[in-house]
Amino acid sequence: MTTLSDPKAGDTAFVSTFSLGAGDGPTVAVKDCIDIAGMVTRCGSAAYADFAPAAQHAAVIERLLSAGCRIVGKARMHEIAYGMTGVNAFEGTPVNPRWRDRIPGGSSSGSAVAVAAGAVDFAIGTDTGGSVRQPAICCGVIGLKPTFGSIDRTGALPAESSLDCIGPFARDMTMIERAMTAIAPGFAPVALDHAPRLGKLNLEVGIAPEMGEALDAIADATAGTVTLSGMDDAFKAAMTIIARETLAANLALLDAGAPFGDDIKARLEGARAVSDAQLEAAEAVRRTFTAEVDAALETVDAIVTPALPSPSPLLSDAHDPNKVLPLTRFLRPFNLSGHPAIILPAPTSGGLPSGVQIIARRGEDARLCAIARRFCQTHSTFQVKDY
């Protein structure tokens, strides 16, 4: 098991702790929107807190146990996985171990904090619009969103989603690949047969200067720029679909007056305004953008983007939409397209959360991990450090 670098912060990652699994493999934290038999899947919400315990394990839990992992706790999360800050008034907000005055990120906040604090070897989260990758970068760890549909979501909430993926957090690529070997059927680490050629995303809208430092660190591997003209439309389309699908998953509870937090209730009510025509338009953007990313990846091995457009907000700014909404500008579009994407953290020279996102072809998750592994080995910038 990892050395516990921040036990106090690590404690805040969990809504409950226990020991499940007889194996002597890695210790794991699991986001509390994933069923574990005999436990209530609370989803970080008072609206779910009094539900009956799950009757059976989620598919990913069965795979973890079969792989010899020991699950040691359920991780806190942004309420119903519908937010990017990780701030949770009902269950408490996990403490970001490295940047205590900043948000832990969401929605898989506790999973990221557990790994960053050294409380577990790896953690499992879910990513509908950046919810693994964004807390990973906020807490300074590695986070992977696999290819859509590659990991069985049975027993994860919401039960129906056209965007959501289960994915791992870890402090190094060896553990990311070990996690993927456990949870993803057919996954096996691969070796690269040539130095990867990266296409650097052409940034049509600027970023904070310090957020580009990590990209500069791998300039030697870039084979030019890649233009994805549909990024902004894809960002908006994914949000339209998320709003519609999140409302559908929670509509019965909302109509029954369930005690959602005020901000979540307001967003759910607002989602009622999403029309069928808007949803159809979003699906058209999905098709166009997916084809655009596929075409770009025919010319390079992977696309690289900044992880964040600007520094992650202070906790005091967590309710400022101007600080929060842009956080997933580079992340959410690849939920829409379904491509695998990984975050490698690299704090700025001034010590702020930052890093890069690498995107690969659909179904080439192992190759994506191999590319990320190479950069972690050859560029000390991307090696997660104790603090």
* 3-state secondary structure at position 234: helix
- Tell me, what's the pLDDT at 23? 84
- Tell me, what's the pLDDT at 5? 53
Q: Could you tell me which residues are beta bridge partners of residue 345?
A: 355
| The pLDDT of residue 291 is above 70 | yes
Cis-peptide into 107, omega within 30 deg: yes
Per the prediction, the chain carries an average pLDDT of: 96
- Tell me, what's the pLDDT at 385? 73
156-169: average pLDDT: 98
- Tokens 């990991």 sit on residue: 151
- Digit-coded pLDDT (tens) for 165-181: 999 999 999 999 999 99
131, exposed or middle or buried, with CB in 10 Å at 0-12, 13-18, 19+?
buried
CATH number assigned to the domain with residue range 7-227+288-382, chosen from the 4 options 3.30.930.10, 3.90.1300.10, 3.40.50.720, 3.40.190.10: 3.90.1300.10
Domain residues of the chain, as ranges?
Answer: 7-227+288-382
- Digit-coded pLDDT (tens) for 98-125: 999 999 999 999 999 999 999 999 999 9
| The pLDDT of residue 86 is above 90 | yes
Q: Could you tell me which residues are beta bridge partners of residue 225?
A: 200
253-263: average pLDDT: 98
Catalytic residue among 31, 74, 145, 323: 31
Catalytic residue among 45, 107, 161, 337: 107
User: pLDDT category, 6, cuts 50, 70, 90?
Assistant: low
Q: Which of 12, 83, 82 is nearest to 319 (CA)?
A: 83
- Tell me, what's the pLDDT at 1? 38
- Is 109 tagged catalytic? no
Q: Which of 127, 84, 137, 189 is nearest to 306 (CA)?
A: 137
**How far is CA 378 from each of CA 42, 121, 269, 373, rounded to the nearest angstrom?**
41, 23, 49, 9
| The pLDDT of residue 367 is above 70 | yes
User: What is the reported pTM?
Assistant: 0.96
- Digit-coded pLDDT (tens) for 327-337: 999 999 999 99
- Tell me, what's the pLDDT at 3? 43
- Is 8 tagged catalytic? no
- Tell me, what's the pLDDT at 4? 46
- Is 31 tagged catalytic? yes
Catalytic residue among 108, 109, 131, 354: 131
- Angle at Cα 79 formed by Cα 49 and Cα 106, nearest 5°? 140
280-309: average pLDDT: 98
